Amino acid sequence: MAKNKNIAQKIKLAESRQEADTFKLWESYREQATMWRVIALVQMFGSFLLICFAFYVYSTREITLHVPRQPLPGQYAVDQIPEDALIEASTEIVNLIATYQPHTAQKQFLAALELLDEPALSVFKEKMLGMELQAIRGTSRTQLFFVDPSRNKIEKTRGGIRVSLIGERTKFLAGKQIAPVSTAYRITFTTKPRNKINPYGLVAINIEVEDVNY
C-alpha cells in the first residue's frame, strides 16, 4: 500500500509540474503576443504620422522655375546682352575658325560667315576663305584650340562689346606637331534686329587673333 501511495504521489507531482510548465509557457506566449501587439500599434501610429507629414510637405511645397530672360521684340542694345550669351556667341565663332582639319576648314569658315557683319565679313572672306584656306590645304594643316574659361574677358569698346577667349593653340603640319602657343581670339560684337535663329541679334564686326603670354 505504501508503495502504491508513493507512486500516486509521484504521478500527482509530475502532473502538477506539467501544469506549471504549461502555465509558464502560456504566460511567455502571452507576453510575446502583448509585445507584438504594442509594436504593431506603434508602427500603425508611426505610419499615420508619416502619411500626415507627407501630405503636409506636399501641400506646402514651393516650385521655383528658373526661366532665362526672353528677348524683347526688335533690336537689343549691345550692352543689354547677357554675358553668357556673349560668351556662347564667341565660343561658336572660335570653334568654327580656330579648330579645324584640312577637309573641314572650308565648310566651317562658310558657316562662320553667317555670324559676321561688316567690316569683319569682307576681311574674313579675303583672308580666311582666300589665303588662309589655301595655306591649310597646301600644308595639310590641322589646328586645335582649347579655351581657358578662367581667362575669358568682356569689355566695352567704342564700337560695341569685345569678348576675349584665351587658350592654347596647337598646329599640326602634315601630321607633325608644332609647339603650342597661348593665343587670344578677340571678337567685337554689335547687334542687328533679332530673329528666331539669332534671338539676340548678335553679329561680329571685328576678329583679332594674337599670341599672348600665359
Q: What is the pLDDT along the chain (214 residues), one digit of tens a residue?
A: 555 555 555 555 555 555 555 555 556 666 676 776 777 777 777 777 778 777 777 677 666 665 555 555 677 888 888 999 999 999 999 999 999 999 999 999 999 999 999 999 999 999 999 999 999 999 999 999 999 999 999 999 887 899 999 999 999 998 899 999 999 999 999 998 888 888 888 999 999 999 998 6
**Which H or E run contains 210?**
strand 202-211
Residues 90 and 176 in one domain: yes
Tell whether 21 and 86 lie within a shared domain.
no
27/95 same-domain check: no
Query: Collapsing DSSP states into helix, strand and coil, what is residue 62?
Result: coil
Domain boundary among 31, 64, 97: 64
Which pLDDT score, from 0 to 100, does residue 14 have?
A: 53
The 8-class DSSP code of residue 150 comes to G
The overall longest dimension of the chain from CA atoms, in Å, is 138
DSSP assignment string, 63-125? -----PPPPPSS---GGGS-HHHHHHHHHHHHHHHHSB-TTTHHHHHHHHHTTB-TTHHHHHH
- Residue 71: inside a domain: no
In a domain, 108, yes or no: yes
Q: Which domain holds residue 108?
A: 78-211
pLDDT at 195: 80
Do residues 28 and 85 share a domain? no
Q: What is the pLDDT of residue 64?
A: 63
In a domain, 53, yes or no: yes
DSSP 148: -
Co-location of 58 and 141 in the same domain: no
Overall size of the chain counted in residues? 214
Tell me the three cell numbers of residue 187.
571678337
Q: How far apart are CA 162 and CA 83, in angstroms?
A: 11
| 160 and 117 both lie in a single domain | yes
Same domain, 187 and 115: yes
pTM of the model: 0.62
State how far the Cα of 182 lies from the Cα of 85, in Å rounded to an integer.
24
Whichever domain contains 133, its CATH number is 3.10.450.230
| Domain contains 16 | yes
Residues 132 and 179 placed together within one structural domain of the fold: yes
The answer to whether residues 125 and 91 belong to one domain is yes
Which helix (H) or strand (E) segment holds residue 137: the answer is helix 133-139
User: Are residues 40 and 93 both part of a single domain?
Assistant: no
Residue 120: closest CA among 204, 189, 185, 210: 204
Last residue of a domain, one of 33, 64, 95: 64
Last residue within a domain, chosen from 9, 39, 64: 64
Report long-range pairs for 53-59 (Cβ below 8 Å, ≥24 apart): none
pLDDT for 60 equals: 74
d(CA 152, CA 132): 26
Asked if residue 99 and residue 30 are part of one domain, the reply reads no
Instruction: Check whether residue 180 and residue 92 sit in a common domain.
Output: yes
- The structural domain count of the chain equals 2
Residue 87 lies in a domain: yes
The reported pLDDT for the residue numbered 41 is 77
